[in-house]
């Protein structure tokens, strides 16, 4: 991209998913901060030229180190993505969850470093979440404006959905875009793009995969398992079959695309005595082919989690529940997750990272194609600063 490159700081960095394409739009992330050591090491593996500060931003010494290094590096762009578990609809939505307060530490860093541009991201519920401020409880958006509106222009509408920016995943986020007033730039979200990308378009071309049944005595039920596994691995080593318990697999084999196993009369989530397992209607549920994927969650490797099962293809159907069988009674493979999250298909996952960590960081990450387009919309407003 023409013009000067921005020097960036990433706060609450995860493993740098949001940053995957920032170098393509003129932003070099020079410093990152992450509290969890395994994620920080993952980040270092992906971005070896970045200075990664490992530690809790709430710690005065760590925060001072971040601020000092940012000033020394002349940081002019900050991306901050505080944890959302206290606000997310997939969590407990505790209004007093201490993680809701973490945005205040990001604001402190912003006020000290004074970058030209800031991208602050969280779930849409942050718009209705209150935090402590000078002895009062105020909404997070009001807090952001009180602290930063004197020095920064703040975008009008913060809520965007990644599916309207060619990401094959419906993922709503609240993203505040700030531009320092002396830049004379007002940074807004780009116009939505249509048509949206469906799962059929995104992963429909990939071969069907049988799950690995956890109970060895039940593995005979998939006689083509190895053949399908080899065909999938020929595409990517990350396209290997997920492992599930037979009872989960059985329930999903009789569940059509877009439906939950709770709608079944025979093959529904049940205990050994036949009583229905208590769960949300969004669990034990397949994606739909004709829509983007539902929001990918941190727990995307578990069939009983919120909408995370492959859409499947009809194998046979004689009009009865027993006689209707669908393929791919499994969660998405890691390779399929890369696609629906808009990560590079050759994303350089470290060999030491286990599946649980990989799935967790992807589930918490922001689709990088969305971030790329938002930042590209900023870069289109100037060539030099």
Backbone angles phi, psi at 8, to 5 degrees: -110, 155
| Predicted local confidence at residue 121, as pLDDT | 94
Q: Give the span between the Cα atoms of 29 and 227, in whole angstroms.
A: 43
pLDDT tens by residue, 347-362: 999 999 999 999 999 9
**334-341 and 355-364 helices, crossing angle to 10°:** 10
H helix or E strand, kind and range, residue 161: strand 159-161
* 102-132 exposure pattern, b = at least 16 Cβ within 10 A, e = fewer: bbbbbbebbeebbbbbbbbbbbbbbeebebe
Q: Tokens for 250?
A: 């059985």
Measuring CA to CA, how many Å separate 224 from each of 11, 312, 318? 46, 16, 22
185 and 379 Cβ atoms separated by less than 8 Å: no
Can you give the pLDDT at residue 383? 54
Q: Where are the alpha helices (DSSP H) in 10-164?
A: 37-46, 60-73, 103-113, 140-148
Any residues with CB less than 8 A from the CB of 382 and at least 6 apart, and which?
3, 183, 185
CATH of domain 6-193+364-379: 3.40.50.150
- Would you state the pLDDT for residue 87? 42
287-330 pLDDT tens trace: 999 999 999 999 999 999 999 999 999 999 999 999 999 999 99
> How far is 269 from 93, CA to CA, in rounded Å?
26
Residues noted as catalytic:
84
Domain ranges of the chain: 6-193+364-379, 210-332
pTM flag (> 0.75): yes
Residue 212 and residue 152: Cα distance in Å, rounded? 53
**What ranges in 119-191 are assigned the alpha helix state H?**
140-148
**What phi, psi does 321 have (nearest 5°)?**
-65, -40
At CA 174, angle to CA 204 and CA 339, rounded to 5? Answer: 20
Structure tokens at 369: 């194609």
Please answer whether residues 89 and 170 qualify as being in contact, where contact means their C-beta atoms are separated by less than 8 angstroms. no
- Residues 85 and 102: their CA atoms lie apart, in Å, by 12
Question: CA-CA distance, 370 to 335, in Å (whole number)?
Answer: 19
- Per-10-residue mean pLDDT, the chain, length 385: 82 98 97 98 98 97 98 98 59 52 94 98 87 89 95 96 98 96 97 97 98 98 98 98 98 98 97 92 97 97 97 97 97 98 98 98 97 94 60
Residue 130, both tokens: 């209150």
């Amino acid at each position: 991209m023409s013009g000067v490159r921005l020097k960036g700081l990433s706060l609450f960095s995860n493993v740098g998913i949001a940053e995957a394409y920032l170098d393509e739009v003129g932003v070099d992330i020079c410093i990152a901060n992450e509290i969890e050591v395994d994620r920080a090491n993952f980040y270092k593996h992906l971005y070896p030229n970045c200075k990664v500060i490992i530690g809790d931003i709430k710690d005065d010494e760590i925060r001072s180190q971040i601020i000092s290094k940012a000033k020394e590096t002349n940081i002019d762009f900050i991306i901050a993505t505080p944890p959302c578990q206290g606000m997310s609809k997939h969590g407990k939505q505790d209004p007093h969850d201490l993680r809701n307060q973490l945005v205040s530490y990001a604001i402190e860093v912003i006020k000290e470093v004074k970058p030209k541009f800031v991208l602050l991201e969280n779930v849409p519920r942050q718009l209705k979440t209150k935090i402590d401020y000078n002895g009062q409880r105020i909404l997070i958006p009001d807090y952001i404006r009180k602290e930063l509106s004197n020095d920064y222009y703040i975008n009008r509408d913060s809520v965007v959905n990644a599916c309207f920016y060619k990401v094959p995943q419906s993922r709503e986020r609240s993203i505040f875009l700030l531009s320092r007033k002396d830049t004379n730039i007002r940074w807004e979200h780009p116009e939505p793009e249509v048509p949206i990308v469906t799962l059929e378009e995104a992963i429909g071309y990939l071969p069907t995969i049988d799950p690995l049944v956890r109970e060895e005595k039940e593995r005979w039920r998939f006689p083509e398992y190895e053949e399908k596994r080899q065909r999938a691995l020929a595409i990517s080593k990350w396209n290997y079959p997920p492992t599930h318990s037979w009872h989960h697999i059985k329930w999903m084999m009789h569940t059509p695309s877009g439906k939950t196993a709770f709608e079944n009369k025979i093959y529904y989530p049940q205990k050994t005595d036949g009583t229905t397992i208590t769960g949300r209607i969004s669990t034990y549920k397949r994606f739909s082919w004709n829509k983007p994927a539902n929001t990918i969650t941190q727990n995307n490797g578990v069939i009983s989690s919120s909408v995370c099962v492959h859409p499947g293809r009809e194998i046979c159907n004689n009009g009865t529940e027993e006689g209707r069988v669908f393929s791919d009674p499994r969660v998405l493979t890691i390779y399929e997750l890369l696609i629906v999250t808009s990560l590079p298909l050759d994303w350089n996952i470290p060999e030491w990272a286990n599946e649980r960590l990989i799935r967790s960081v992807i589930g918490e990450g922001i689709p990088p194609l969305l971030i790329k387009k938002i930042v590209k919309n900023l870069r289109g407003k100037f060539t030099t600063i």
